[in-house]
Amino acid sequence: MRAMVFRGAGPALALEERPVPAPGPEEILVRVAACGVCRTDLHLVDGELLKPRLPVVPGHEVVGRVAAVGAGVERFREGDRVGIPWLGWTCGACPCCRRGRENLCPSARFTGYTRDGGYADYCVADQRYALGLAGDRGDAESAPLLCAGLIGYRALRMAGEAGRIGFYGFGAAAHIIAQVARQQGRRVFAFVRPGDEAARAFALDLGAEWAGDSDRAPPEQLDAALLFAPVGALVPAALGALAPGGTVVCAGIHMSDIPSFPYELLWQERRVLSVANLTRRDGEDFLALAAETEIATSIETMPLTAANEALDRLRGGRLQGAAVLTMGRGESPPRQIERPESASGPRTGPDAGG
């Protein structure tokens, strides 16, 4: 099988031919159809995530079908369509796991980081952490839901009952979760890179009632701000945009240093929280929600062998929505295969969020 492999020596992935892995007990072998390109993958290859298992195959927005099952597998059968998310295994015995906070398990293993992921023709997953995929949403369209959607959903839940929500960084995660927020009757305010008119128009197409530069104040105070851009300087900016009692949720796995800021910005019971990983319950709840609602994923498909190009475009802010690697051996050029109905045509712009 083909695999794009990170060996830690530089940001580029190497295309390798490997034997198809065999599933062990409680594991399933998945023939990968599509794998989303996440900002976490970029943090990995850029050396911003410490202690990956090397060599490792990145990718944790994996969609495919079960090709074989190991001993003890009962949840899935050959041919079932499944998703493989970031959380790949937890111990089940530590205090965090016992309290239902397996996302904080100190022994957790993660797909595409400490377990081989989906930048390959095949991928092995623990059946207990894979997610069944129902419905007629396409494989490539489904891929971003498995991290951008899941982490965005967890971040939205941390915002509580907030009615006015600011999205800082309108990329893969924000463009999905903004639609969820709108369908829940919340008001969406989008913050994009200064001067990026394409991203601003994209946010407005998706229902934001205001979209402006990230260094500008919104037209009214926010109840919550969700930060998907990995820029620490946005934390005090978002605090300054909050109403009393509001919450800033930092949704990335990595962020540049947060600069000092006056206590006045935090006073009046404003809060700053972070999102760490996800739980299986998050996955089940969000995929059920996605199956019941109209959530459009704006994607650009690229062949597996173009993984380095996809990461480079993400690094340079030259993606809108999400890039998805497809495993067909035909090296067709990238194409936009689904956009929200209200979008008015192809654009280029940054993927500022995960």
CA distance 188 to 185: 9
Q: How many helices and strands (H and E) does the chain possess?
A: 9, 18
In the prediction, which pLDDT does 11 show? Answer: 84
Residue 203 backbone dihedrals phi, psi, to 5 degrees:
-65, -40
CA distance 87 to 76: 18
Describe the chain by its helix, strand, coil percentages, rounded to 5: 25, 25, 50
CATH code matching the domain that covers 149-274, chosen among 3.40.50.720, 3.90.180.10, 3.40.630.30, 1.10.3720.10? 3.40.50.720
CA distance 32 to 133: 13
Judge whether 2-148+278-338 and 149-274 match in fold: no
What CATH fold (topology level) applies to the domain 2-148+278-338? Answer: Quinone Oxidoreductase; Chain A, domain 1 (3.90.180)
What is the chain's pLDDT, residue by residue, as a tens digit (354 residues)?
Answer: 999 999 998 789 999 999 999 999 999 999 999 999 999 999 999 999 989 999 999 999 999 999 999 999 999 999 999 999 999 999 999 999 999 999 999 999 999 999 999 999 999 999 999 999 988 899 999 999 999 999 999 999 999 999 999 999 998 899 999 999 999 999 999 999 898 898 899 999 999 999 999 989 999 999 999 999 999 999 999 999 999 999 999 999 999 999 999 999 999 999 999 999 999 999 999 999 998 888 889 999 999 999 999 999 999 888 888 999 999 854 333 333 233 333 333 333 333 344
- Report the chain's terminal Cα–Cα distance, integer Å: 28
**Alpha carbon distances (Å) from 349 to 186, 276, 319, 322:** 25, 27, 5, 11
Bridge partners of residue 111, in order along the sequence: 115
146 near 85, Cβ under 8 Å?
yes
In the prediction, which pLDDT does 329 show? Answer: 54
Q: What is the DSSP letter of 293?
A: S
In the prediction, which pLDDT does 352 show? Answer: 39
Bridge partners of residue 123, in order along the sequence: 30
**Alpha carbon distances (Å) from 111 to 46, 60, 119, 338:** 17, 5, 11, 26
Tokens of residue 104, six digits: 């904080």
- CB contact set of 63 (below 8 Å; sequence gap of 6+): 32, 33, 34, 35, 81, 82, 83, 84, 133, 139, 140, 142, 143, 146
Residue type, 32: V
- Cα 95 to the chain's mean position, in Å? 27
Element of type H or E holding 285: helix 280-292
Domain positions in the chain = 2-148+278-338, 149-274
In the prediction, which pLDDT does 9 show? Answer: 80
239 near 261, Cβ under 8 Å?
yes
CA distance 282 to 273: 17
CA distance 28 to 70: 6
